[in-house]
Amino acid sequence: MNFKHLHYFWVTAKAGGIMRAGEQLHTTPQTLSGQIKLLEEWLGRKLFQKSGRNLELTEDGRLALGYADQIFSLGAELENVVRLPRGVHKVLDFKVGVADSVTKSLAYRLLEPALNLEDPVRMICSEGKFPDLLAKLALNQLDLVIADEPMSKRMSVKAFNHELGSTPMSFFCAPALRKTLKGDFPECLNNAPMLIQGAQASIRQQWEGWLSRHQLHPRTIGEFDDGALMNAFGRKGRGIFMAPSVMEADIVEQFGVEVIGRSDELVEEFFAVSVERRITHPCVVAITKTARGQLFS
């Protein structure tokens, strides 16, 4: 492979077009187009397609861009490491994705050990839908994905689930709302305003079954994919909300709410998904060790 051709493709994809890439590379659009065409011929795949007056990446182009990102990122890292003074440790990049259904405060507790390593770490953290993060993991754009469900065996991604632990769920509400509830938990949920996780959250199916078994009928006034937003509504007294019991103390302190009850029947599990079957990445080792030995023990 001619890496000059790959570099031209990479800059064009990042710049969003031939003209802007040509300005950055100080070359003509004709020369740039010709170099990218040679790369496409060598790969036997189209990397760009026209969309009106613009260029957009094809599926093969997006795949190639993921690898190009890694190649040129590693090249820059190599240059930086070689030029480091003797005795200075290089910074370890740790690229992690967090499913948007994972409570933010819990995500912090899970990831924090990675920043406590002896060698310096630069954490590059992104949030998104679990399937989208798995796609990035498959392209080696992420080292790890944190989620509240395991990767399904039906997914065509070569990766492995590493269980971090599980926790029952606790129910919270603002003090003013607590005074209006009638009866003990869980009967006090009847006809009470409820804020719940979105339909894609792993706890939702358990929640529906739990309500049916206990013959409870709260008033659902909001569904949230973003747990932080749900907690913000709960803080203002808009409804009761549930969160992992392992985070009780943090939630009470941060949001000024009260714990009104707990249920061992509602259990949320957490997983680290990695391309490694046997964990060797030092950041992932620290995360799994702390989660299993302290956070969820």
Residue 101: its pLDDT value, please?
86
Confidence of residue 87 (pLDDT cuts 50, 70, 90): low
Beta bridge partners of 194: 220, 240
Between CA 152 and CA 156 the distance in angstroms is 9
Residue 84: its pLDDT value, please?
61
Nearest CA-CA partner of 111 in 283, 228, 270, 253: 283
Pairing of strands 48-51, 54-57: antiparallel
**% the chain with pLDDT above 90:** 65
262's torsion region: left (phi>0), alpha (psi -120 to 50) or beta? beta
pLDDT for residue 118 is more than 70: yes
Residue 156: its pLDDT value, please?
73
Confidence of residue 88 (pLDDT cuts 50, 70, 90): low
Q: Which two tokens stand for residue 238?
A: 């808009």
Q: What is the mean pLDDT of the chain?
A: 90
157-182 pLDDT, tens per residue? 788 999 999 999 999 999 999 999 99
Nearest CA-CA partner of 98 in 123, 124, 122, 127: 127
Rounded to 5°, the CA angle 107-136-274 comes to: 60
